[in-house]
Amino acid sequence: MDAPKAFELRNVGVRFDGFPALLGLNLEVRRGECLAFVGPSGSGKTSALGVLNGMVPPATGSVRIREVDLSSIGVSAIRKLRVEIGVIPQDLGLVPNVRVYQNVMAGRLGRQSFIGSLRRLIRAPRRELQEVMHFLKRLGIENKIFQRTDSLSGGERQRVAIARSLYQGANTILADEPLSALDPARARETLALLVDIARENHMTLVLSMHDLALAREFIPRLVGLKNGAVLFDRATGDISPEEFEELYNLESKERHG
């Protein structure tokens, strides 16, 4: 039996300043599934990820998160849904001049009252620090816990962002180009880690990425986006080399209009 739906997009269109970023995207993602949007720059990958947690409002179509239609609920209800969705943006979204543990602890802000979060900012409870330490240890950067975040390397900061999603207790991770700032060896290691962590914790993982070789090696389902439209959406093994070629072939755009 299929797992329940984590996301369901029906004919979703997104426009930025009048320019189309997504054209009629249809997508179903099951809970615990791992998939990646692939495609050239400007193909709509980031917009697609933004739609999945309600940060980018669709101009047309409907978005359902865990069977809840976003158009039927208010701002605060959407915010509650976001609490369950971890986001790793391309720039990582970390506060550079605070400690690593503070960035990780920020993952749970959506679950805390304002006063509770302020108390934690002033003085982190020992038990929660131990929890942060546990996740950082899993990611191999436990010795960085009290360091300023901007003193870490790109790979280490990537891990801090992953630790934040783990600490958040999210059931889903949306990661936008998580490998873009990493060297090939580090990129492979990080992707393997993300996929492992998602599998271990039964999380839904949706990524956007450029590196087709890595995507084919680690991600079981790929959605090819080009000029805002879906070129293919299948199990990775079923996608032909010609389809991958067409995805990145700039000439094909002219050929097919």
Partner 1 sequence: MGLAAVASWFLLDLHWSGLLPAAEGDSILRLFFQGAVSPALDYEADYVPKGTTPFLWKVAEAARTTLIFAAGGMSLALVFGFVLGFLGATSWWPRETHRRSDWRCLSCYLLPVMYSVVRLLIASMRSIHELLWALFFLAALGLNSFAAVLAIAIPYGGTLAKVFSEMLDEAPREAAQSLRSIGAGPLQVFFWSLLPQALPDACTYTFYRFECAVRSSAVLGFFGYPTFGYYIRLSSENVHYREVWAYLYALFAIVFVLEFWSSFLRRKVVMR
Map residue 227 onto helix, strand or coil. coil
Nearer to partner 1, 92 or 222 (CB): 92
Sheet of strand 19-30, all strands in order from the earlier edge strand to the far edge: 19-30, 5-16, 60-65, 68-69
* The one among 1, 18, 72, 74 contacting partner 1 by CB under 8 A: 74
Question: If binding is defined by CB under 8 A, does position 40 make contact with partner 1?
Answer: no
Question: If binding is defined by CB under 8 A, does position 235 make contact with partner 1?
Answer: no
β-partners of residue 34 are 205
Question: If binding is defined by CB under 8 A, does position 152 make contact with partner 1?
Answer: no
* The one among 16, 69, 96, 202 contacting partner 1 by CB under 8 A: 96
Q: What is the DSSP string of 93-162?
A: T--TTSBHHHHHHGGGGGGS-HHHHHHHHHS--HHHHHHHHHHHHHTT-GGGTTSBGGGS-HHHHHHHHH
Least distance to partner 1 from the beta carbon of 88, Å? 8
* The one among 14, 21, 29, 94 contacting partner 1 by CB under 8 A: 94
Owner of token pair 């249809």: 26
Would the CA dihedral through 124, 90, 31, 111 be positive or negative?
positive
Nearer to partner 1, 136 or 175 (CB): 175
Nearer to partner 1, 117 or 227 (CB): 117
What residues line the site for partner 1 (CB under 8 A)?
Answer: 53, 55, 57, 74-75, 79-83, 85-87, 89, 91-98, 102, 106-107, 109-112, 114, 117-118, 121, 148, 164-165, 168, 170
